[in-house]
Amino acid sequence: MQPESASPQLASPARVKRSLPDLTHPELTSSGAPLVMVTAYDYPGARHAEAAGVDLILVGDSLGNVVLGYDSTAPVTLADMIHHGKAVRRGAPNTFLVVDLPFGTYHAGVTDAMRHAVRVIQETGADAVKMEGSTPEVLDVVRVLSRNGVPVMGHVGLMPQTAAAQGGLRVQGKDDDSARRTLEGAVALQEAGAFAVVLEAIPARLARLISERLSVATIGIGAGVHCDGQVLVYHDLLGLYEGEEKKIAKRYADLGREAREAIAHYAAEVRAREFPSKDNSFVMKDEVLDKLY
Ligand code: KIV
């Protein structure tokens, strides 16, 4: 019988964690199926993702928007990423875990970036870090980190950390300049040692060309079906984030509506004294109570 006071946490089912070579060249694995990545920011989300059997979990700095309530990713700190990364690792001990380096933590030179990346790896137990962009400074960082045992996932196309400089949160790679920059950036990231590159909000045909040019995996979000993998933000996928459905995402559930309805139902039952019921209440012997009167 279960004790009245607590319900035990279920252990994560044993599973084989994807290795870096599997992830770098997914076409060489036995299934050859596209890689599946989803973001997670906390213990329960990580447990759901691992139980669903995703290949990679990303603790994205989209944390700032979907969990912390900021209107951009810029305010997210290294401490925020480490705090949430640790919780995700506890929930998904057997899934390849990537943690975003937030804005400003890899822009002040390679020594600084290395120190921050090592903190993320050591303190969260992540398998890799992700960073945005392909400027010469970022490429230097990718080169040094990957040569020194810190796997790096790159990110080109729409880059939320510097979206203001890109003219806002808008699709990239549509004109000559932007398409060439995106292609060359992805190739440069691979040459610098990135084991995979996220392609965000770029035309599907450009993503296809980049995926053909790169030998490492491309992981798309709003980049069409020809990438080597796909990533979605947890809150978008589950309908937890209010607002219109984004073109780059698909809602597979409407848990936000379910949550609102459930909380409203709870409130109504409390107000009607229907909750807690007998089933939710603890009992005591009459003689113990009588002594108190
Ligand atoms: O921060 C994030 O969630 C991301 C994904 C959208 C790739 O970078």
Distances (CA, A) of 83 to 44, 76, 152, 195, 281: 14, 11, 20, 25, 35
Residue nearest atom 3 in ligand 1 by C-alpha distance? 60
Residue nearest atom 6 in ligand 1 by C-alpha distance? 233
Q: Quick one: pLDDT at residue 120?
A: 98
Q: Quick one: pLDDT at residue 5?
A: 42
Beta-carbon contacts of 127 under 8 Å, excluding residues fewer than 6 positions away, are 20, 96, 97, 98, 121, 151
Q: Quick one: pLDDT at residue 22?
A: 80
Q: Quick one: pLDDT at residue 28?
A: 63
Beta-carbon contacts of 81 under 8 Å, excluding residues fewer than 6 positions away, are 59, 61, 63, 99, 100, 101, 102, 120, 124
Kindly name the residue from 191, 200, 212, 244 that is annotated as catalytic: 200
pLDDT above 60 for 59:
yes
Is-contact 193 147, C-beta < 8 A? yes
Q: Quick one: pLDDT at residue 117?
A: 98
Q: What are the pLDDT digits (tens) for 193-249? A: 999 999 999 999 999 999 999 999 999 999 999 999 999 999 999 999 877 888 999
Q: Quick one: pLDDT at residue 163?
A: 82
DSSP annotation string for 136-178? HHHHHHHHHHHHTT--EEEEEES-GGGGGGGTSS-----SHHH
The mean pLDDT of the chain is 92
Q: What are the pLDDT digits (tens) for 71-100? A: 999 999 999 999 999 999 999 999 999 999
Residue nearest atom 4 in ligand 1 by C-alpha distance? 60
Q: Quick one: pLDDT at residue 8?
A: 41
Report how far residue 87's alpha carbon sits from residue 59's, in angstroms, rounded to the nearest whole number: 10
Pocket test residue of 37, 41, 54, 58 for ligand 1, highest count of atoms within 8 A of CB: 58
Q: Where are the alpha helices (DSSP H) in the chain?
A: 20-24, 43-52, 63-66, 78-91, 110-124, 136-147, 176-192, 204-213, 234-237, 255-271, 286-290
Q: What are the pLDDT digits (tens) for 252-280? A: 999 999 999 999 999 999 999 999 999 99
pLDDT above 60 for 13:
no
pLDDT above 50 for 6:
no
pLDDT above 50 for 7:
no
Q: Which domains does the chain have, with CATH numbers?
A: 20-253 (3.20.20.60), 258-292 (no CATH)
Q: Quick one: pLDDT at residue 37?
A: 98
Q: What are the pLDDT digits (tens) for 161-182? A: 988 777 778 899 999 999 999 9
Cα of 60 from ligand 1 centre, angstroms: 5
Mean pLDDT, residues 36-53: 98
Looking from the CA of residue 39, the nearest atom of ligand 1 is 3
Instruction: Report cis status (omega within 30 of 0) of the bond before 93.
Output: no
Q: Quick one: pLDDT at residue 29?
A: 67
